[in-house]
Structure 1
Amino acid sequence: MEKWTTDNIPDLSGKTMLVTGANSGIGFETSLALAKKGAHVIMACRDHRKADEAKKRLTHVVPAARITLVTLDLADLDSVRKCVETVRQTNNKLDVLINNAGVMATPYSKTKQGFEMQIGTNYLGHYALTGLLLPLLLATPGSRIVSLSSLGANYGKLDLEDIMSEHKKYKTYDAYSQAKLANLVFAVELARKLEASRSDTMSIAVHPGGSPTNLQRTSGFLMARIITPLLSQAADKAALPSLLAATDPTVSNGSYWGPTGFMKLKGFPGPAAIPKQANDLAAASRLWELGEKLTGVNYSF
């Protein structure tokens, strides 16, 4: 594949695209690039004040941008349902959903519904959001669902007997890797289900490589000041896999994209290898059932 950049994004006039975690980092850069190409961008953010500030920054760069703000706290399923209700009341189509938001290596805590924070936010919140928005996506020809995973998924293990870390010592990075593996397994399984239903909606997974926006917040001095800059790229570059997956006409259902440069941590986006554990059909089925049971959201294809 050629060196893919934002110059490759086609005109997006008339397209409606929702980005979670859109007020900062990769989510903001994704929203900005989409707005520059004429898309109506729905910025779904937890903090309304920060979202409003992000909208002001974005429209300063793109004065004609069409931006809608919606409140979304993925750690609260009530907030997820309210967000979807707002989106469905004000839009009759949704061309792209980008499941970008996430938390990384946080100390042990729980979501409003009592789920471990990383699996609850990164996987269950997005599982519920996607399922509730699915009717709108299926009604939009050629729609896409883009799920952000991480290179951490390569080291992840789905502990489906204790996914909440209730009966073992909680380890922040193990929980993070599990949650991002769950994102990837979900994206691949969703692609299978969409194909089986003969829908033209696509499910695509991406990873951003190494990005300081999601590495520094809970890391120490050495990681933040020395290691991270060497192994990461700026947020606008880390957003490229998401943008490719959301807009490029050559992308196919079930594909996985990420940086192709040094250790797959940086560089131009291209096809990425799906780790073996993300193709475990039995585990994917159990994870999906767990999503249904814990969120109460059933997918209708």
Structure 2
Amino acid sequence: MLSASHKDQNILHIILNAPTTANMLFMTTGGLCYFYPNFYHAGIAIQSHSGNLVPYDKKLGCAGEVTDEFEMQRDMSFLNRTCDDLCPTFWHHVQEKHWRLSVNWNVEDSVTKVFHDIDVEWRLNRECTNSECPHCFMVMSQNFECAGASNRDDVKFLPSEIWYHKPPFVQLIKGIFYGGQCHQPFLVPIPVKDGIDSPPTLDDLDINYWVKQYKLYECHSIALNQLLSRMSSMTGSKETFHGSILVIKQTRHVPNLIVNMTKQDQLVANFLILSALHYHILTDA
């Protein structure tokens, strides 16, 4: 039963980290909601990454005996085909309504209010063990585990790892990379996450190939961005900056749609960054 979540946290993080898909359900005073409704109605429960931590002789999930009523599946091999969009390694967003089913008994206090203006993503597992799936761990283990980029050599090296990713990325978007140890900005390919075949949004980009995400209080441990610091000195400022920046272009006419950047866009990006540095509105990346 859902009452309230901790400040700056969302209850969906708990729901979507349940040990099985059968446990990914919650109720409010206005209704009931559960994820993976097709599996739920078929009496099938798929084990998640948190379920992997539960010993085999222990119950899965906080609902006690509920899993006894479901056919437990450790992975998607029971499909006897490729996982398609059901692959446990694919990220999903709570705004994708086909992943959940809601039942309201009080429309004025609808259970769907929980999803309003919420930016929560989840996936069932880090690895897929379905041998029929092109994203199974035997294939994906051949890929490079990227730690992010910072210098010119990284800009030359990482694209080859992106081009030869297995299975091949369906989509790539071009952005501009201001690496911490680079002497100039570079136009770079940005992979779109596996499983996204529609025009990508910002949430769909696998930006970790270029920039790792850090919390602000950790910025003191991030390397100095020599490129931005040099650009800052051109405005007369002595302020220094840390980390790297990846600039991505969004269309004006279609909200949230990401498109390729060009060399011409790089001139505009340079101008905007110099302006931001001049007015001290650019924070650490």
TM-score, normalisation: structure 1:
0.27
Q: TM-score, normalised by structure 2?
A: 0.28
Of structures 1 and 2, the one with the larger relative CO (CA 8 A, separation 6+) is: 1
Higher helix fraction (1 or 2): 1
The structure number with the bigger radius of gyration is 2
